[in-house]
């Protein structure tokens, strides 16, 4: 059965300024009806051991009777020198240990961004070897802890379903699959429904996110797609993504994990998060296969 979660990234502007705490965001999420929340490595405080912070986060979650659905980490494994590559893999392995401490069953990762100087000429095929080798090591570490590792279609370089699938196949570990972000496919001008159809059998985690789509630049805070169209974050269920069809495809493929809500729009985030959850629940109730 599907369960609904909120990514703490939805609260990013307020978390960055300190206008909201993780504990307050968790409390709001539970009141809005979410069953879980997604923790990101962006929100650990400096100067305090992450292990201590993880214990506190677990206690706060337990007090609010809400689950920690996923631990999200950020990384770029398109590295072509052994030292930096090895250091990043070691850090990702320590992230697996934190995920285990948090008690989650899935850790979301990235693969690579477009290489910068002096490697800006490197292609996706060039990057596939260091990326897959590193993620294989991470997946094997995670398997020992009973954790699945989920690669998100994040960014312009490895954001298409085809490239995500190639990385998953290259890693070749049974606990390594996809974190499907249904909104991110628009960044690389791919149909979300078609992309979800391709990756649904490999899904270990899902981000539900919506976007407004424009043929021409509507002004800030929009951003361009790879093909020169424009996107702006939307309240879930009120943008260009066919959320219902994407979820139906996932359900028919047998996915029954978390649906983690992300919001990146300009509306008041408390309104947008609560309204998005209402829309998500209403959509799930209408699905032929109900979660």
Average pLDDT over residues 8-33: 97
Q: Quick one: average pLDDT of 75-103? A: 98
**How large a percentage of the chain has pLDDT more than 90?**
97
Mean residue pLDDT across the chain: 97
Q: Is the dihedral of CA 161, 162, 167, 171 positive or negative?
A: positive
pLDDT at 288: 87
Residue 37 above 60 pLDDT?
A: yes
Residue 146 lies in a domain: yes
Q: Is the pTM of this model over 0.95?
A: yes
Please say whether the beta carbons of 113 and 78 come within 8 A. yes
Tokens of 215: 């043929």
Please report whether residue 265 resides in a domain: yes
Average pLDDT value for residue range 84-90: 98
Distance from C-alpha of 188 to C-alpha of 185, rounded to nearest angstrom: 6
Look at residue 7 and tell me whether its pLDDT is greater than 60: yes
Rounded to whole angstroms, how far apart are CA atoms 129 and 131?
Answer: 5
Q: Above 70 in pLDDT, residue 103?
A: yes
- The three-point CA angle 232-161-97 to 5° equals 90
Give CA–CA dist 166/150, Å, rounded. 14
Query: Contact 225/189 with Cβ under 8 angstroms?
Result: yes
Residues 242, 251 contacting (CB under 8 angstroms): no
The reported pLDDT for the residue numbered 5 is: 98
Count Cβ atoms below 10 Å from residue 54 Cβ, excluding itself.
21
Range of the domain at 57: 3-286
On whether residue 134 sits in a domain, the answer given is yes
pLDDT of residue 290: 63
The pLDDT, as a whole number, for residue 291 is 54
For residue range 180-227, list pLDDT tens digits in order: 999 999 999 999 999 999 999 999 999 999 999 999 999 999 999 999
Question: Is 245 a member of any domain?
Answer: yes
* 287 contact partners, CB below 8 Å, separation of at least 6: 244, 247, 248, 251
What is d(CA 199, CA 220) in angstroms, rounded to the nearest whole number?
A: 32
Can you give the length of the chain in residues?
Answer: 291
With 70 as the cut, is the pLDDT of residue 78 above it?
yes
Q: How confident is the model at residue 24 (pLDDT cuts 50, 70, 90)?
A: very high
Torsion angles phi and psi, residue 69, rounded to 5: -80, -35
Per-residue pLDDT at 60 exceeds 80: yes
Please name which of 186, 184, 196 lies closest in space to residue 229, comparing C-alpha atoms.
186
Distances (CA, A) of 8 to 68, 96, 125, 178: 11, 19, 33, 20
**Residue 26: which CATH number?**
3.20.20.150
What sign has the CA pseudo-torsion 100, 101, 107, 110? negative
Q: pLDDT per residue over 63-72, tens digit each?
A: 999 999 999 9
Q: Count the domains in the chain.
A: 1
pLDDT at 289: 72
Has residue 291 been placed in a domain? no
Please check whether residue 253 is in contact with residue 204, taking contact to mean a CB–CB distance below 8 angstroms: no
Strand order in the sheet with 223-224: 210-214, 230-234, 223-224
Per-residue pLDDT tens digits for 229-257: 999 999 999 999 999 999 999 999 999 99
118-160 per-position pLDDT tens digit: 999 999 999 999 999 999 999 999 999 999 999 999 999 999 9
């Amino acid at each position: 059965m599907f369960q609904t979660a909120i990514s703490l990234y939805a609260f990013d502007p307020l978390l960055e300024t300190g206008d909201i705490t993780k504990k307050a965001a968790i409390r709001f999420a539970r009141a809005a009806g979410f069953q879980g929340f997604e923790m990101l490595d962006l929100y650990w405080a400096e100067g305090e051991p992450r292990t201590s912070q993880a214990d506190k986060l677990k206690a706060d979650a337990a007090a609010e009777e809400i689950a920690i659905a996923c631990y999200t980490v950020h990384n770029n494994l398109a590295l072509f020198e052994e030292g930096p590559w090895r250091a990043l893999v070691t850090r990702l392995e320590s992230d697996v240990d934190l995920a285990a401490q948090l008690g989650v069953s899935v850790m979301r990762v990235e693969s690579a961004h477009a290489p910068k100087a002096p490697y800006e000429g490197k292609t996706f095929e060039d990057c596939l070897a260091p990326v897959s080798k590193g993620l294989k090591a991470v997946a094997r570490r995670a398997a020992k802890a009973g954790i699945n590792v989920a690669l998100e279609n994040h960014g312009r370089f490895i954001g298409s379903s085809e490239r995500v699938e190639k990385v998953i196949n290259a890693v070749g570990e049974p606990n390594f699959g996809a974190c499907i972000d249904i909104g991110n496919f628009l960044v690389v001008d791919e149909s979300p429904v078609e992309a979800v159809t391709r990756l649904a059998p490999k899904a270990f985690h899902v981000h539900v996110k919506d976007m407004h789509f424009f043929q021409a630049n509507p002004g800030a805070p929009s951003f361009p797609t790879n093909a020169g169209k424009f996107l702006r974050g939307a309240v879930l269920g009120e943008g260009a993504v066919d959320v219902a069809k994407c979820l139906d495809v996932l359900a028919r493929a047998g996915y029954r994990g978390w649906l983690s809500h992300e919001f990146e729009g300009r509306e008041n985030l408390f309104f947008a998060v609560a309204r998005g959850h209402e829309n998500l629940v209403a959509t799930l109730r209408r699905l032929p296969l109900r979660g």
